Chains A and B, each alone.
Chain A
Amino acid sequence: MDWLDVAIRLLAVLVAFLVFPLLVGQLEHKAMAHMQGRVGPMHAGGFHGWAQLIADGVKFAQKEDTVPDGADRRIFRLAPAVALVPYLVVLIAIPFGPEGMVGEAPDAGVFFVLAVLGVGVLGSLIAGWASANKYALLGGLRTAAQLMAYELPLLLSAASVAMAAGTLSLTGILDAFQWWWVPWQLVGAFVFFTAGLAELQRPPFDAPIAPEEIIFGAYTEYSGLRFAFFLLAEYAGIVVISALTAVLFLGGWHGPFADQLGWLWTLLKTGALCFVVIWARVAWPRLRADQIQRFAWTVLVPLALAQIALTGVIKVVTG
C-alpha cells in the first residue's frame, strides 16, 4: 500500500463523511416536511431548496461562538470535536464494496468500530459537564445513563454476527455472509439498530436533548460553528449506524451484480435505514428517561441474549 493509495482512500472517506450527513440532513428536511403535509425548504439554491444546509452552515459560521463564564473553557471547546471525529474514524473501517473498497480494514473491525462509536457519545457527556449549566448537566447525565444502558445490547447483537461469521473483521463478516443470515439475525438487527438509535439520542430516544424539558440538553450553551459540529455529528452518526447495520445484518454490498454494483447496494441499504431513522422521528413521541432505561434492560438485553443463544445453537447444529 503506497502513499498515493492511502491518500486517495482517506480523501474518499473524508468526502463521504462530508457529503452523506448533509444528504441525510436534507432528506430529513424534505421527508419530514412531506410526512407532515408540508414541502420543506424550497428556495435555497433554487431547486427544491437543495442548498438549504449549505445556507445553514454559512449562517452558523457567522454566529458568535460564545463560552459561558463558569465553563471549563478548554474542555468546552474540545467537546464538539470529541463528538464528531469518532464517526469519521468509524467510517474509515466500514467496507462499501467488495475487494478492498474500504478505507482501512482492521482485523478486529467490529471491536474497533464499536469502541470508537462509544467515544462519540462522550462528546455530549463532556459538553454537558463543561458547560456549567444545570440543564446541560442534566442532559449530559441522561446521555451517560443512556450510553450505559444501550452499549450492552449494541455489543451483544454485534457479537452475535461475529459468532455467526466466525470473525471480528467487517470485511470477513461480509465475505462469509449468506442471504439466510438476514432472517437468522433479524432480532439482532432490530436490537443493534434500536440501540444505535438510542446511542445517537435520536427520537424516540432523545430524552437527553428534550427541548421541552431541559432546553437542549448538553448542547444548551453552544452556538455558532461548535453547535453546528454537534448537529453534523448527529447526522454523521445516523450514517454510521445505518451503514454498520447494513454491513453487519443486511449483507452490505451483497446483491445482484455485486462485483460491479456492490457500493450501490451498500449505499441503498444505508439510505433505506437512514430513512427509517427519520421516519421514526416523525412518527413517534419521545420516551421518558425511565422508559428508555426500562426498554433497554427489559426488552433489548434479553432479546440480544436470545439472539446470541439462537446463533450459537444454529452454529453448533450446522457447523
Chain B
Amino acid sequence: MKRRFFHGEGWRKVTEPAGNMPIEAKIKPALTSLLYQLADDDFILAYRGAEWLGLAPHIEEDVAFSSISQDTMGHAAMFYQLLADLGEGNVDSLAHARKTSERRNAVLLELVNGPGHYLSSAQYDWAFAVVRNYFYTQAKKIRLDSLKNSSYRPLAEVALKVNMELYYHLLHWKTWFIQLMQAGGEARTRMEAAIGKVLADFEGVLILGPLAKEMAEYGLIEKEEVSKQRWLHTMKPVFESVNLAVSEANLAMKTGNGRIGEHTVDLDDALSTLSEVYNINPAASW
C-alpha cells in the first residue's frame, strides 16, 4: 500500500532500509514535514504579497511585485500538490482548511505588512517588505539549489522549475535592498529597523524543524547548518557593500518556532481572511 504514495521510480538515491521498516514509511514523516514547510512558507508570503496589491510605492513596482507573489503562490501550489500526491489531502484543503497550529511556515513570513487593513487605512512598511522578501528569497534559493538534488525525485523536479523563476525574484529584491540602503537618510534608518526586525526571526526561516536531521540523512535536502552557512556567506559581500555588519549572532527566533506550530495572531487573521469564501462551503466547486 505504501508504494502508492511513493512511486518507487521517484527515488533516485535510496538509503538502506533500517531493520524491517519499509523505507517509504520511514522517510515519509521527514518528507512531508519538509514539504509542509516549503508549501506553507510560500503560501503565506504570497498572501502577504497579495495584500500589497495596489499599494506599492509606484505602479511599475505593483506590476512586478504582484507577478512575484503570483509565482510564489504557484510554487506553494506545486508543493501542496506533492503533499496531495503523498495522500495528505487535496491541495485546496491543505491550503485553506488547516488550522494555525498545523501550519509549518516560519513565523517571520506570517507577520503583517504593517499597520492597518489591506482594504482600508493600510500603512504598509516597504522597508520590511524589501528586507523580508530579499532575505527569504535568498534562503529559498539556497534551499532549492539543494532540493534540485533531492533523493525524492518529484521534489527535485519541482525545485528545478521553481528555481528558474527565482533568479528574477532575487535580482528584484536585491536591487531594491541595495538602492534603499545606499540612499541614506530616512530610507537607511527605516531599512536598518526592518533588518533588525527580520533578523530577530530569521533563524525560524533557516531551520527545518524537529526532523531536520532525518531530512538530511535521507538525502531529501542538505543539513540545515550547511544552508545557514551558505546564506551567511552569500549575504556577506552584499552587507559589506552597504556597510552593514551582520553575523550569525544576529540571527534569532524571537516570536516563535513556526516549524513546530507556534504562530501569532497575525496568522490566525490571515487564515480566516484567505479561507473566508472557501469556508462558505468547502465541499462546493468554486
Asked if A and B bind, the verdict is no
Which residues of B come within 8 Å of A, CB atoms? none
Which residues of A come within 8 Å of B, CB atoms? none
